[in-house]
Amino acid sequence: MSDTQIGWMGVTASLMLVAIAIGLSLWRQLHLTRSLLWSSARAAVQLLLVGFALRLVLDSKASVWWAWLWVVVMIVFAGFTIRSRAKEVPGILLLGTISMLTVVVVSLSVIFGFHIFPMQGRTIVPLAGMMIGNSMTACVLVGRRIVGELSDKRDEVESRLALGLSWSDASQPYVRSALRTALVPQIESTKAVGLVFLPGAMTGLVLAGVDAVNAVTVQLAIMYLILGSVATSVTVMGIGLTRQMFSSDHRMKPIARASH
């Protein structure tokens, strides 16, 4: 066993930290004991299942198509997750799924087209996972924000429509504000990286014994990938959702107010 393989004993020992969290919850009467136990157990089961499945997919002898199938499942699952987090956004399931698909196609085309990483199961699955994971949150944020902005500013939007503006021109200031809101956290986190926190991929590589500078170059590529992915996904979601909120003759459809 190498010094980065912690084994079942290591995992069991790390449960001490969950026990500390439970102890704190009991001491301060936070009533979070069941949630802590359930989330820890659920994470263990989910990750173990994923680990065994990944072992099959990432096997060097396995066909790369298994990895692509994995990505398709992730995209569909992300679509449903986005819908569950922003039910008030009309047509969010389809829009979310299309956004994730676009992100994967665009970003992986760059990554593999320019040979930044080799196209193998062990790169396809984690890279797609990171892109989808980060983009999913941004998509939910931008979807809710656009619905909120357009319903709050309906008078202004209709005033612009009444002047003969198209749906895209009439909604532009509000959609722009929503897109900025969704992108700023990612930009801020990109700026703070290395100073405030060490990102996960780099930490993982360093723990696995990779040279720190090599780990940094991998992390940089991943961060740029995530930044591009988030920008792509919120743009696709923003344009698609806004289009959906107007009729073909540039009238604003009735919309439910987003609950926050």
Partner 1 sequence: MLAVMGTAANRVDNGVQLQFDAVSFSAPGGTKLLHRVDLSVDRGAVTVLAGPSGAGKSTLLRLGNRLEVPSEGLVRFKGTDLTALDPQQVRRSVGMIFQRPIPFPGSVRSNLAVADASATDSAFVAVLRRVGLDPTMLDRVADDLSGGEAQRMCIARTLLTQPEVILMDEPTSSLDPENRIGIEDLARELAHEGIGVIWVSHDLSQVQRIADRIEVLIDGRNATPVETLGYLDQETEGEP
Taking the complex as a whole, the smallest distance from the CB of residue 138 to partner 1 amounts, in Å, to 25
Continuous H helices in the chain? 7-27, 33-58, 64-85, 92-113, 121-152, 154-162, 167-192, 200-207, 212-244
Q: Looking at beta carbons only, is 12 or 166 nearer to partner 1? A: 166
Taking the complex as a whole, the smallest distance from the CB of residue 155 to partner 1 amounts, in Å, to 5
The CA distance from 148 to 241, in Å, is 12
Taking CA atoms, 179 is separated from 104, 174, 218, 238, in Å, by 20, 9, 28, 7
- Only one of the segments 9-17, 59-67, 236-244, 249-257 lies at the binding site for partner 1 (rule: CB under 8 A); that segment is 249-257
Taking the complex as a whole, the smallest distance from the CB of residue 158 to partner 1 amounts, in Å, to 6
Q: Looking at beta carbons only, is 151 or 219 nearer to partner 1? A: 151
The CA distance from 19 to 12, in Å, is 11
- Sequence length of the chain is 260
Q: Looking at beta carbons only, is 51 or 164 nearer to partner 1? A: 164
List beta partners, residue 193.
197
Q: Looking at beta carbons only, is 7 or 164 nearer to partner 1? A: 164
Q: Terminus-to-terminus CA distance in the chain, angstroms? A: 49
Q: Looking at beta carbons only, is 161 or 215 nearer to partner 1? A: 161
Taking the complex as a whole, the smallest distance from the CB of residue 164 to partner 1 amounts, in Å, to 4
When asked if residue 250 is in the footprint of partner 1 (CB under 8 A), the reply is yes
The CA distance from 173 to 211, in Å, is 46
Helix (H, G, I), strand (E, B) or coil at 203: helix
Q: Residue count at the site for partner 1 (CB under 8 A)?
A: 17
Which 133-192 residues touch partner 1, going by CB under 8 A? 155-156, 158-166, 173
Q: Looking at beta carbons only, is 166 or 214 nearer to partner 1? A: 166
Q: Looking at beta carbons only, is 152 or 158 nearer to partner 1? A: 158
Taking the complex as a whole, the smallest distance from the CB of residue 252 to partner 1 amounts, in Å, to 8
- Residue from the set 5, 28, 249, 260 that interacts with partner 1 by CB under 8 A: 249
Taking the complex as a whole, the smallest distance from the CB of residue 251 to partner 1 amounts, in Å, to 6
Could you identify the residue written with the tokens 């090599």?
214
The CA distance from 250 to 91, in Å, is 18
Amino acid at the residue 251: R
Binding site for partner 1 (CB under 8 A): 155-156, 158-166, 173, 249-252, 254
